[in-house]
Amino acid sequence: MGNGLLLLCPIQEGWDLAEDSRCPAKAGAVAEREEPAAECGDPRQPVGEDDGKRGARGYDAGKKVNGRKRHLLVDVLGLILAVVVHPADIQDRDGARLVFDRVRGLLPRLKKVWADGGYAGQLVEWVKSSFRWVLEIVSRPAEACGFEVLPRRWIVERTFGWFNRYRRLSKDYEFLTDTSETMIYIAMIHLMLKRLRPCQAA
């Protein structure tokens, strides 16, 4: 994924790169289609041009996000432990509960989870009573001005940055949320395999 894709289609015979220059149509030629390629959902259309994507979607009025959200639970290296994709009209705290339910009983050594301010509130007590984990909220300092690296917060943000390098994950292309989650797992597997090194002979 992400490599070996044909990004530029070959120029058809009779066309050139000059501005607004096209070969005149042959006499009696009939257009193959009446709709523009982008409106028809052409697979070669530019990223983000087709807004008519289907599937489970929603609108978050707070963040002004229309579509879906991705919730990740990663370790201290930024490697995925769990992922949940859901419509954007589900609040962040409710989405976090879906992520924690995915790993219920699977991480016996886990003791503490760091999260941003969007997960503050009742979720902290729910995690403590349900999993006996400490959910520590990493908030932005009130005196902070401009960009500032927050402790632990940058780890999961870096993971999101890794995914933006995969064309399939740079935008929300999938019809099913399960497919979106699967593509995220595949991207992480690919990233982890690239980091493997052969054992050196003794």
Q: What is the pLDDT of residues 37-80, one digit of tens each?
A: 334 433 333 344 345 567 888 888 887 778 888 999 999 999 99
Q: Indicate whether 181 belongs to any domain.
A: yes
Q: What percent of the chain has a predicted confidence (pLDDT) above 70?
A: 69
| Entry pTM | 0.67
Greater pLDDT, 119 or 7: 119
Tell me the one-letter amino acid at 133: W
CA separation for the pair 58, 66 (Å, rounded): 6
Q: Indicate whether 78 belongs to any domain.
A: yes
Q: Indicate whether 52 belongs to any domain.
A: no
* Of 111, 114, 134, 112, residue with least CA distance to 124: 134
At 172, which CATH number?
Answer: 3.30.420
Strands 112-115 and 80-87: unpaired
Q: Indicate whether 51 belongs to any domain.
A: no
Number of domains in the chain: 1
Q: Indicate whether 152 belongs to any domain.
A: yes
pLDDT in tens, 142-191: 777 776 777 788 899 899 999 988 988 888 888 889 999 999 999 999 99
Strands 80-87 and 65-74: antiparallel
Under 8 Å between Cβ of 106 and 131: no
Dihedral angle computed from the Cα positions of residues 63, 67, 73 and 77, in that order, rounded to the nearest 10 degrees: -90
Q: 22 - beta bridge partners? A: 15
Q: Indicate whether 144 belongs to any domain.
A: yes
pLDDT in tens, 89-131: 888 899 999 999 999 999 999 999 999 888 888 999 999 999 9
Residue 81 belongs to what domain range?
Answer: 58-195
Q: What are the two backbone dihedrals, phi and then psi, of residue 91, each rounded to the nearest 5 degrees?
A: -65, 155
For residue 129, give the H/E element and its range. helix 122-131
Q: Indicate whether 79 belongs to any domain.
A: yes
